[in-house]
Structure 1
């Protein structure tokens, strides 16, 4: 590879995927048991939550949000790539609710995924 191509390749690699937040997987959630796990247990294993709310009742809710986007391969084709600009998007939100003593009372996970833009490749190829 010629040295002048290195910045172009680096830009393409950096643009290939973008993610933000903490991706809490179902297998990680199985480590936490309502009635036994505490706020410290959750934050020690998963890190700092995206958001934390204390309710009037004294209970606390930790929210872990995650989003990732991967552009369609066609987006990188010179000249016509912008016509296909878009990609696959996946997101998840996990809520941990704790009672006034900091003990886990419930946990929930919601996910969504979708595609934006056009693609000429079959879904299996992406």
Structure 2
């Protein structure tokens, strides 16, 4: 019975992790060279961007956004869990700029991470 309970709790914790968007890693960015790579190459490797805009001068901007949230394990403790509600939050945004011919001009990646709520476990014990 304890084994079933442990599986149920693990399943709930895994289901509580939420992610959205495309997580573009720094290693993937090295595949794209300004002045050589094209818009078609970027979308073929990374998929559909979160947003896309074409400016009046013909410049095209692709934005790949990603966000993930992982609750603190303490959040699942009956009765006292709401006292610790919160979790780890991580996000990234990658912006590609292409000229009027669809050739990559520049790329930028920004990331942020933080936490909300309280945690009684050490950060390295949560991973």
Q: How many residues are aligned here?
A: 124
Q: After TM superposition, which residue ranges in structure 1, 4 or more long, deviate above 2 angstroms?
A: 4-13
DSSP-derived class of the 2:44 partner: helix
CA contact (8 A) 2:13 2:73 kept: no
In structure 2, the residue matched to 1:64 is: 64
Residue in structure 2 matched with residue 11 of structure 1 by the alignment: 12
Structure 1 distance, partners of 2:51, 2:19, is: 17
* 1:26 paired residue number: 26
1:29-108 matched pairs, under 5 angstroms:
29-108=29-108
1:57 positional shift? 1.1
Note the aligned Cα RMSD (angstroms). Answer: 1.8
Q: TM-score scaled to structure 1, two decimals?
A: 0.91
Aligned partners of 1:105, 1:33: CA distance in 2, in Å? Answer: 9
Name stretches of at least 5 consecutive residues in structure 1 with no aligned partner: none
Give 5+ residue unaligned stretches, structure 2.
none
